[in-house]
């Protein structure tokens, strides 16, 4: 249909007319402009448009969902017919429900249109900067994009949300080579609302690219020991992602979450507070409403060591009988600590500065193991040398209680704000 802002409402109407009892629809329109660097040169410019129109219907407590990337009436009506086949073939489940009525709202943030010439200028300057400052660094890939998203959500309880959001994203993947010596690859990404700053000045860019050029010659650790691990903000972001997966619908519904009985209980050192802030002014990224039709709010997940919220959606909440989260997670912020990063290193007798963790999926009891990538050996309070073929193993649940220090310094990459954290009692093993 011509007016795309009315599509999701139209879909709800058509679903109800077709006999669906409870209906919801969301429409996402995405326009992306993208500059790509391959092997050090700007080689590709992309402009892509896409649409995602999702329909969900419930009848006789049976649920089905379809999604298409068209908004023409004919495609919508076909999709409704498909949905009815899915619903009728489904199984009755009294837990199926849609979001209750809320006040209609519209949201917007960030630039809706890109400045393509400035994108090119910034990318070119970044390549020049890297070539001069890091001659051994190879940019395997760099992508600078502007992404504009229009989202609409409607349901048959009268919920109606819409948002317009624009942001720039920059991600760079790099290695370093010195003769025939090659470092492990590393990457860093940032989201931003404008291109007012040169790309290399964002948090982490210079630090990680500089480290890469130091990592062409590495040392294998001998033997195994139990020591301290300082996780960098980039590495900690991955650990948070793993930890919060235990708080979502699936592991709590199946009862396999290591935190299933921990709500309101101490699960971490009292200095650790973890928040999810999808509507924070501090972060360039975020969202205004959830996929299941609720206005998003910021939340605290771990409050001074106590698990204060799961990340359950509407279905998971009703299925488990536990409280629904006020957002869908992500955009994590950890409160700063009171220790300077340098002092954290000085306090390590024997351990690792863990800059990237390449690990297997943790087992259902939280055990994890994996390889310390782009990482450094620390001994007697000094960073000694970059390591290779070094394994790190522990248990996520125990690890959260063994925090020694949290840094004052934090990295804001537009999608999270995270400090360095020292954990003790981690198994570190070489060849």
User: What is the footprint of other proteins within residues 195-234 (CB under 8 A)?
Assistant: 224
Within positions 168 to 187, which residues make up the interface with other proteins, using CB under 8 A? 175-177, 180, 182-185
Site string for other proteins, 278-317 (x = CB under 8 A): -------------------------------------x--
Nearer to other proteins, 164 or 171 (CB): 171
Nearer to other proteins, 21 or 82 (CB): 82
Among 45, 81, 104, 125, binds other proteins (CB under 8 A): 45
Is the Cβ–Cβ distance between 230 and 421 less than 8 Å? yes
Query: CB of residue 165 vs other proteins: minimum separation in angstroms?
Result: 19
- What is the distance in angstroms between the CA of the first residue and the CA of the last residue of the chain? 62
Nearer to other proteins, 403 or 426 (CB): 426
Nearer to other proteins, 120 or 385 (CB): 120
Within positions 70 to 109, which residues make up the interface with other proteins, using CB under 8 A? 70, 82, 85-91, 93, 95
Query: CB of residue 378 vs other proteins: minimum separation in angstroms?
Result: 20
* Residue 43 φ then ψ, to 5°: -115, -15
Q: What is the DSSP letter of 5?
A: G
241 binds other proteins (CB under 8 A): no
Q: Which residues contact 229 (CB under 8 A, 6 or more apart)?
A: 351, 352, 354, 392, 422, 423, 426, 428
Q: What is the DSSP string of 64-131?
A: EEEEES--SHHHHHHHHHHHHHHHHHS---TT---PPP---EEEEES-SS--HHHHHHHHHHHHHHHH
State CA 113 to chain mean position distance: 24
424 binds other proteins (CB under 8 A): no
Q: How far apart are CA 36 and CA 29, in angstroms?
A: 22
Query: CB of residue 313 vs other proteins: minimum separation in angstroms?
Result: 11
State CA 161 to chain mean position distance: 23
Among 286, 386, 394, 414, binds other proteins (CB under 8 A): 394
Nearer to other proteins, 184 or 412 (CB): 184
373 binds other proteins (CB under 8 A): yes
């Amino acid at each position: 249909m011509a007016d795309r802002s009315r599509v999701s409402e139209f879909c709800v109407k058509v679903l109800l007319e077709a006999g669906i009892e409870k209906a919801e629809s969301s429409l996402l329109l995405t326009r992306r402009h993208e500059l790509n660097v391959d092997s050090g040169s700007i080689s590709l410019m992309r402009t892509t448009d896409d649409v995602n129109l999702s329909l969900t219907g419930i009848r006789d407590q049976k649920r089905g969902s379809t999604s298409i990337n068209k908004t023409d009436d004919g495609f919508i009506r076909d999709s409704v017919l498909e949905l009815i086949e899915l619903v009728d073939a489904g199984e009755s489940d009294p837990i199926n429900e849609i979001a209750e009525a809320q006040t209609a709202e519209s949201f917007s943030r960030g630039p809706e249109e890109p400045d393509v010439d400035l994108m090119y200028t910034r990318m070119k300057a970044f390549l020049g900067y890297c070539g001069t400052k890091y001659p051994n660094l190879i940019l395997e890939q760099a992508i600078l994009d502007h992404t504009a998203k229009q989202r609409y959500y409607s349901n048959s309880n009268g919920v109606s949300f819409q948002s317009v959001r624009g942001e720039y994203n920059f991600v760079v993947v790099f290695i370093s080579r010195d003769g025939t010596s090659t470092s492990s690859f590393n990457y860093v990404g940032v989201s931003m609302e404008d291109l007012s700053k040169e790309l290399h000045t964002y948090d982490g860019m210079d630090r990680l690219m500089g480290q890469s050029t130091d990592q062409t010659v590495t040392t294998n650790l001998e033997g195994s020991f139990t020591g301290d691990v300082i996780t960098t903000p980039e590495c900690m972001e991955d650990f948070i992602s793993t930890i919060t997966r235990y708080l979502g619908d699936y592991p709590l519904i199946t009862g396999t979450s290591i935190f299933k009985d921990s709500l309101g209980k101490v699960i971490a050192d009292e200095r650790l507070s973890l928040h999810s802030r999808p509507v924070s002014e501090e972060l360039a990224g975020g969202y205004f409403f959830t996929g299941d039709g609720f206005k998003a709010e910021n939340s605290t997940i771990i409050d001074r060591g106590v698990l204060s919220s799961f990340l359950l959606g509407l279905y998971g909440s009703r299925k488990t009988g536990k409280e629904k989260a006020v957002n869908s997670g992500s955009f994590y912020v950890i409160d700063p600590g009171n220790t300077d990063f340098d002092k954290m290193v000085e306090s390590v007798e024997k351990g690792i500065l863990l800059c990237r963790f390449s690990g297997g999926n943790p087992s259902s009891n939280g055990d994890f193991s994996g390889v310390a990538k782009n990482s450094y050996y620390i001994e007697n309070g000094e960073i000694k040398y970059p390591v290779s073929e070094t394994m790190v193993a522990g248990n996520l649940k125990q690890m959260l209680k063994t925090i020694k220090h949290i840094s004052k310094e934090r990295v804001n990459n537009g999608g999270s704000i995270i400090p360095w954290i020292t954990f003790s009692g981690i198994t570190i093993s070489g060849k």
